[in-house]
Amino acid sequence: MVNKEVLIPDDAITQNLRGRSFLKLEDFSPQELIRFFEVARNLKEAQKAGQPHPLLAGKSLAMIFRKTSTRTRVSFEVGIYQLGGQALYLNSDDIQLGRGESVYDTAMVLSRYVDGIMIRTFQQAEVEQLAQHATVPVINGLTDYCHPCQVLSDLFTVQEKRGCLRGLKLTYVGDGNNMAHSLLIGCSKLGMDVCIAHPPGYAPLPETVAKAKALAEASDSAVELTTDPVAGVTGADIIYTDVWTSMGQEAEEEQRIQAFGQYQVNSALLKHAKPDAVVMHCLPANRGQEITDEVMDGPQSIVFDQAENRLHVQKAIMALLMGE
């Protein structure tokens, strides 16, 4: 068994994370984000070496899903199991929340049973409200506004591949959605240049762009928005993309296919990035729309390493927030 002190540095940064919720990347300092990476690396090494690391023995995580999921559900569930705890999968249609029980009452009740709550839902305000009333940490497993667990693990993946983050340029090609918002905040906090190449009418929220610009100034990096995908990926170290139609937007699919046609990550677009650029996608992918098979299965793609790292990074999130 690995010693807890070897896995998690016991200092003021760790103490300050204990008991907190993980609602959006805006809420964490660069040092705190780096602490998640350090613990994720240690937990990944322990897991690969077959060393037990039951940091959350006897603890439970409730996982509320108002939207479908493969990666988030499986990685949280397996993750807490590897940490010695257990997960409860709660489809919102199967619990009273789905029949109108209030978020307040749900927060009060679940807090009496479990040690943490993960929620995937539509409105960011619902996650914030749950966290306000729960007495245990709440973790955002995706909202329409952001996807902080995904981007934290994506930046961990980039650091693993490149050895650093500062000075790299990440270009996101696609919709100014939850992924774009978390990438804007995460990259600008950690000193990476971030560019969003989006179709007209699909820009990220102006207030999030403004926040990212202020963060970039502090970290000596740059934030850029463009409607030209070729200009956007020029000089990029990382090209990132996501579906054109997110969960909950299904009625707009036809209109979006028309609007996003020129924003496909394909071999021709990749030629404009740096020769050693890597390609990322949070998945699920709609192959043939935002990304071609050739790129997704090609040598520059790191999409499945990204997917794996959800497990290690979320274990770090849970161990830091829910551990003692």
Which is closer to ligand NVA, CB of 60 or CB of 246? 246
CA distance 317 to 319: 6
Q: Which residues between 265 and 294 bind ligand NVA (CB under 6 A)?
A: 282
What token pair was written down for 266? 């394909």
Stretch that binds ligand NVA, among 10-18, 183-191, 229-237, 240-248 (CB under 6 A): 240-248
Contact residues for ligand CP, defined by CB under 6 A: 69-72, 142, 150, 282-284
- Is 185 a binder of ligand NVA (CB under 6 A)? no
Residue nearest to ligand NVA (CB): 246
Say if CB 297 and CB 265 are below 8 A apart: no
| Burial track 177-203 (b if 16+ CB lie within 10 A, e otherwise) | bbbbbbbbbbbbbbbbbbbbbbbeebe
Return the active site residues: 120, 147, 150, 242, 282, 310
- Is 314 a binder of ligand NVA (CB under 6 A)? no
What's the closest the beta carbon of residue 82 comes to ligand NVA, in angstroms? 22
How many Cβ atoms sit within 10 Å of the Cβ of residue 291? 28
What's the closest the beta carbon of residue 290 comes to ligand NVA, in angstroms? 10
Residue 70 touches which of ligand CP, ligand NVA, none (CB < 5 to 8 A by kind)? ligand CP
- Is 183 a binder of ligand NVA (CB under 6 A)? no
Q: Identify the CA nearest to 178 among candidates 214, 142, 209, 202.
A: 142
Among 179, 236, 291, 313, binds ligand NVA (CB under 6 A): 179
Respond yes or no on whether the N-terminal peptide bond of residue 199 is cis (omega within 30° of 0): no
- 165, 167, 169, 175 alpha-carbon torsion, rounded to 10°: 60
- Is 177 a binder of ligand NVA (CB under 6 A)? yes
